[in-house]
Amino acid sequence: MTHNPVNDPRTVARNIPGVFDSLFPQLTPSIVAHFNRTAQVSLCAPIPIKMVQESKLLKAMLFELGFTVGEKQLAGNKFDWDDCLRIAIARQKRYFDAQVPSELTKLDKQVAEMTGNNIATMIKELAAERKHPIRSAPAVSGFQWISSGHGDFAIGPTLIEVKCSSGNFSAPDYRQIVMYWLLSFSASVEDNRAEWSEGILLNPRSAKYVAFELDDFLRVISGGRTKVEILQLFSSMVGTRDVK
């Protein structure tokens, strides 16, 4: 049995690409490759591939554990491995059938700690550049049948999503940030809340990140639609979808 909440904004963004093909017809592999070529390198060291491969933990669990360590470090808290593992398992169970490891090896802890260190260091670097405080788990507004949720991190109007992939960022990664922007733009229209103005995809494994102004990104991928036209089309599309 899976535990995917079908109306969670992250799941919607990743699992119904047809909506985004209509909304953003120019979000093509070549555009994704173009933005990936703008990736910037952090001062952190990449995590050695050999160490990741030698870990017997499922990679999703390994990096969820590392993400939790990074959160603790950014909050200025000492971390306890049992507590971090408990949090990581709970998060994995929201989206997957998480396999609970019987133990964490020294190597598992090393890789998770390196991941957490890179996340914390990279986000602190970005916050220093943007001169805004760091927020963990920023709120993501809901819309019609799409539930509210949380992003990974925010720095002022900048939304940061962490992706621990072995390769480049993918179209679903960009779609997720665009979905969160759409929901923030809807909230800004309805309740005069602030919308996200910058998106960052951050990979602690490679110690690289891609930062993009959302207005510029939307102009490239939207096929000439204005933000209001994008929201109107999105509203009409999700308003007719049966999620049962």
Q: Could you read off the pLDDT of 73-112 as tens digits, one per residue?
A: 999 888 889 899 888 888 877 766 656 777 899 999 999 9
- pTM for this one? 0.90
pLDDT given for residue 7 in this prediction: 79
Q: Which amino acid is at 109?
A: K
Query: Is residue 7 exposed (0-12), middle (13-18) or buried (19+ Cβ within 10 Å)?
Result: middle
Query: What number of other Cβ atoms are within 10 A of residue 215's Cβ?
Result: 12
pLDDT given for residue 22 in this prediction: 85
Q: Which amino acid is at 193?
A: R
Mean pLDDT confidence for 140-152: 88
Question: Is residue 42 very low, low, confident or very high in pLDDT (cuts 50, 70, 90)?
Answer: very high
Q: Calculate the average pLDDT of the chain.
A: 88
% of the chain surpassing 90 pLDDT: 63
Kindly report which listed range (40-44, 97-101, 193-197) carries the lowest average pLDDT score: 97-101
pLDDT given for residue 1 in this prediction: 30
Query: What number of other Cβ atoms are within 10 A of residue 219's Cβ?
Result: 15
Secondary structure E strands in 72-168: 134-136, 139-140, 149-150, 153-155, 158-162
Question: Is residue 243 very low, low, confident or very high in pLDDT (cuts 50, 70, 90)?
Answer: very low
State how far the Cα of 188 lies from the Cα of 97, in Å rounded to an integer. 35
pLDDT given for residue 4 in this prediction: 43
Query: What number of other Cβ atoms are within 10 A of residue 233's Cβ?
Result: 15
